[in-house]
A and B are shown apart, each in its own frame.
Chain A
Amino acid sequence: MDQVPFGSATFSQAEIFAENPEPRVPCLLVLDVSGSMLGDPIRQLNDGISSFRDELISDPLAAKRVEPAIITFGEDVRLITDFGTADSFFPPVLTTSGSTPMGAAVSLAIDTIAIRKQLYKTNGIAYYRPWVFLVSDGAPTDEWQAVAARAVQCQNDKAFSLFSVGVEGADLSTLSKFSSRAALSLKGLQFREMFVWLSSSLKSVSRSTPGEAVPLSNPATPDGWASA
């Protein structure tokens, strides 16, 4: 993406929106790839992201409406996959290194969503409330308090919904400070189950019409992937 000149990137976006005027459901994954995720955790996370993609593209409407993006935080904070519909979502295999700059990652997430909304508006594309999925196995190693407060304010303003998920070893009480709802704790390394749940929730959202309650199943049940 970086090597594409700004002008032609903008142009190609306009073309994509003209070809696919469906309303969009942006879903931003903010993923911890710090050193401690090495081994099984990152492997399961990568597998989970693949099943996420498979689930989304198997649903014709979701494939055209759900737009995943990925920000990773570890050695650095990067938007490694920008928003695009699920049928053009080809996430790279994630590798681990570095610490846990969660504050910077959530700050980038807030900005990335604002930019995406602006692009939708410019192109006359309707959209649903964006989802942010914050996943970590640790605690922030950078300044995070102000960003967390900003993230909660955004959620109160309905700018997006944020779900935080702690992998074993995570500081759940800090993770909870980024979200207007309590952080969930991932059971074992059930990333696959988590992403299947996420894709089916997004499928429900992408079908919802005004005034309709979106039926989301509770992930923190005995059979679910999380505990509250």
Chain B
Amino acid sequence: MWKFVGESVVGTSHIATAAPCQDASKIVSHTSTSGTLIAACGDGAGTALHADVGVQLACKTITELCELHLSTHGPLSTISQQHVEDWLAILKSRIDDEASMLRVSRRELATTLLVALLGDDDSCFFQLGDGAMIIGNMASYETIFWPQSGEYVNTTMFVTDDNALSNVQFVFRQGRIDRFAAFTDGLERLVLKFSDRTVHRPFFDRMFDGMQSASMEKLSTDLRSFLESEAVNSRTDDDKTLILACRISGFPHDSTTL
């Protein structure tokens, strides 16, 4: 069983210009496989006219495609790089449809995308663009992929790029993961140490410890007020998304209770 929360909050620079939040996230607890959690988030490009539409469409579409795969093909181990590329191709065609309805080019819906499928004994991750996903336990955390950027710090990759399918990073991992987090680039410099490419551990220790006692409803409000806090806003004026998921202690994963 997972306890999870995910929130996207508009950045202060976007509040100033009355721009919509161009981050989004979606978390689905897949019911037909035992306790697989699907988490997706993304950051719409600031230069894209309908980045908010693009990122929401991307999170919704990709979680649906993942669910469909799990329902029809079964375990996570059946997912390959090829499946991920197929899903991204489908996503691109949905973005194209949306773009033509809005009478804009595909790049006006440009967004990054980070996706995790967390099963009982294994997991899959894929990512296009910046932001990062981290996994951990009580002792340590690690990033799945380091944030993807172009040569320059203010450039990244998007699902709408022509070469998106070759840029996507995919990994399948054996083993059980107890703690998972994903975030967009607005939080990168608060939670990652760029000097040695590691995770800022005290941050996640505090966040996950805080999750243990709170109810799911309270978690959303608490996370939102954290993301809107002065402490966070003084470090970033960008939109920011944080997804946190941890296994609830006291529920053995191979539960035999009937």
Contact = CB atoms under 8 A, between A and B. Distances in A.
Contact of A209 (B48, B110, B154, B194): B154
A211 B152 contact: no
A212 B47 contact: yes
Those 8 A-B pairs whose CB atoms lie nearest each other, nearest first: A211-B45, A212-B46, A210-B156, A126-B153, A23-B153, A21-B195, A208-B154, A213-B47
Contact of A210 (B151, B185, B194): B185
12 contacts: A18-B195, A126-B149, A126-B153, A127-B153, A128-B154, A129-B152, A208-B154, A209-B46, A209-B154, A210-B129, A210-B155, A211-B110
A211 B158 contact: yes
B120 interface: no
Interface of B: 43-48, 51, 110, 112, 129-130, 149, 151-156, 158, 185-186, 193-197, 237-238
Interface in A171-220: 205, 207-214
Contacts of B196: 124
Contacts of B197: 124
Interface of B is mostly: loop
A18 B152 CA distance: 19
Contacts, number: 62
Interface string A8-19: 000000000110
A29 to B, nearest CB: 20
Interface residues of A, number: 19
Contacts of B158: 211
B194 A211 contact: no
A209 B11 CA distance: 12
Nearest to B131: A210
Contacts of A129: 151-152, 154
A8 B5 CA distance: 49
Contact of B186 (A17, A124, A126, A209): A209
A128 B194 contact: no
Nearest to A126: B153
B245 to A, nearest CB: 25
B153 A128 contact: yes
A212 B47 CA distance: 5
B235 to A, nearest CB: 11
A120 B112 CA distance: 25
A208 B46 CA distance: 10
A68 B83 CA distance: 47
Contact of B45 (A17, A158, A207, A210): A210
Contact of A124 (B43, B155, B194, B237): B194
Interface string A152-183: 00000010000000000000000000000000
A210 B154 contact: yes
Nearest to A121: B151
A209 B47 contact: no
Contacts of B51: 211
B48 A211 contact: yes
B156 to A, nearest CB: 4
A125 to B, nearest CB: 8
Contacts of B155: 210-211
Contacts of A211: 43-48, 51, 110, 155-156, 158
